[in-house]
Amino acid sequence: MEKRKKFIINFMYYGILAGFGYAVLKYILPVLAPFFLGLTIALLLKPLIMKIHRKTGISRKFLSALILILFYIILFTVLAYLGVSLFFETRELAYRLPDLYKNEIEPGLIGTVDRLVASFPAVEPVIRDFIEGLANSLGEIVRFISSNALNMLSSVAARVSLFFIKFLFMIISSFFFIFDNEKIYSFILRQMSENMKNIITRAKENLKNVLSSYTKAYLMLISLTFVELSAGLSLLRIRNAIPLAFIIAIIDILPILGTGGVLIPWGLIAIAIGRTGLGLGILLLYLVITVVRQSLEPKIVGDQIGLHPIVILLCIFIGGRLFGVLGIFLIPIAMTIIKKLNDEKVIHVFR
């Protein structure tokens, strides 16, 4: 009976903690995301700052300010370049869509119908009705996108403004965190019991190691995807294959979109307009990248952060279902920290 009571108490305790964690991740963290990102950047840059400080003797606050400014200059330059390029390319494509549809897609669909009818004359009416309906739908979509291009771009511009406001808060908070991190950390620790202080201290150290390992793992995956895309697009004789490969590899970080969000529509459109070889090549490239990614991701991430691949896969799935893109990264990190704390006997969750 005592064992059952203990089990029930532990179950309720960890259930309450899990519920609290869910509420924080789901509702509080998105609101405080700029401050969380500022703290993360401060934690990631602090080892570099301390290393340079010890070797050169330069003031730590001066180094902190200099490195943070350089970091944000580089980050802002990259984001601005990608954002401006994407904005103008999207606008140009939106304006060119009607002509592209009229001169490329529609003739391609007609050519596809003629080839299908020649191969299967018995089902000509069915094929023509299907293609005619598809052509009408595509035409409506093209006209809608083209006519609403400016409105959509204005909406994106408004969101970009909100993004820059959050970006500004992230920058300011990272400076405060990196300048006064010891004061902030000491204040938080003073509010806790000795046992909780020990848990927080060890969790902080493990968080640094996990973030470093996680970054290495995903840099390896992005690099692998970039190499595959560069080789594949070059073999398919796509213009600007290397820059395109880089952009798609970055998009591949987002599991909801990923390479499929770019390569699948691209391949299908190429087939629809009669460029069957190119379309099949792009779809085959997507298949290869997906198989390699799905095979290696749990292994690479698991090796870097010390969890079994099946646990990583489960964490990624649960995190994505509960919290979206953010959960795909946070849940494996949280699980890794819990495991490390358990291995160090700071907490007792697993045997």
pLDDT digits (tens, 9 = 90+) for 110-149: 666 666 666 666 666 666 666 666 666 666 665 665 556 5
Tokens representing residue 172 in the block:
């300011």
Residue 159: predicted pLDDT: 66
Residue 120: predicted pLDDT: 65
Question: Stretch 271-285: mean pLDDT, rounded?
Answer: 81
CA R_g for the chain: 26
Residue 320: predicted pLDDT: 74
21 touches 338 (CB < 8 A)? no
Average per-residue pLDDT in the chain? Answer: 75
In a domain, 134, yes or no: no
What angle, rounded to 10 degrees, do the helices at 194-235 and 33-56 form? 90
340 touches 206 (CB < 8 A)? yes
- How many C-beta atoms surround the C-beta of residue 324 within 10 A? 13
Residue 333: which pLDDT band, with cuts at 50, 70 and 90? confident
Check residues 71 and 316 and name the one with the higher pLDDT. 71
Torsion (CA) 131, 132, 138, 140 in degrees, nearest 10: -170
Distance (Å, whole) CA 71 – CA 79: 12
In a domain, 39, yes or no: no
Residue 54: predicted pLDDT: 86
Check residues 93 and 289 and name the one with the higher pLDDT. 289
Q: pLDDT digits over 78-93, tens only?
A: 877 777 776 676 666 6
* Contacting residues for 279 by C-beta, under 8 A, at least 6 apart: 266, 267, 268, 269, 270, 271, 272
Alpha carbons within 13 angstroms on the beta-carbon side of residue 158 total 6
In a domain, 338, yes or no: yes
In a domain, 171, yes or no: no
Residue 180 vs residues 42, 49, 65, 135, 263: alpha-carbon distances, Å: 10, 14, 12, 62, 46
Check residues 60 and 86 and name the one with the higher pLDDT. 60
In a domain, 126, yes or no: no
Residue 153 has pLDDT above 60, yes or no: no
Matching residue, tokens 């390896």:
220
> How is 268-329 classified by DSSP, letter by letter?
HHHHHTT-HHHHHHHHHHHHHHHHHHHHHHHHHHHHHHT--HHHHHHHHHHHHHHHTHHHHH
316 touches 307 (CB < 8 A)? no
In a domain, 227, yes or no: yes
Check residues 47 and 131 and name the one with the higher pLDDT. 47
Residue 22: which pLDDT band, with cuts at 50, 70 and 90? confident
> How is 158-194 classified by DSSP, letter by letter?
HHHHHHHHHHHHHHHHHHHHHHSHHHHHHHHHHTS-H
Range of the domain at 293: 211-351
Residue 162 has pLDDT above 60, yes or no: yes
Residue 178: which pLDDT band, with cuts at 50, 70 and 90? confident
Distance (Å, whole) CA 97 – CA 349: 57
Distance (Å, whole) CA 314 – CA 136: 43
Distance (Å, whole) CA 154 – CA 166: 19
Percent of the chain with pLDDT over 90: 1
Residue 35: predicted pLDDT: 84
In a domain, 12, yes or no: no
Which of 15-29, 120-134, 168-182, 193-207 is predicted least confidently? 120-134
In a domain, 3, yes or no: no
Tokens representing residue 341 in the block:
């704390």
Most confident of 38-42, 122-126, 330-334, 339-343: 38-42
Most confident of 115-124, 216-225, 319-328: 216-225
Tokens representing residue 319 in the block:
């995190």
346 touches 202 (CB < 8 A)? yes
Residue 254: predicted pLDDT: 63
Structural domain count, the chain = 1
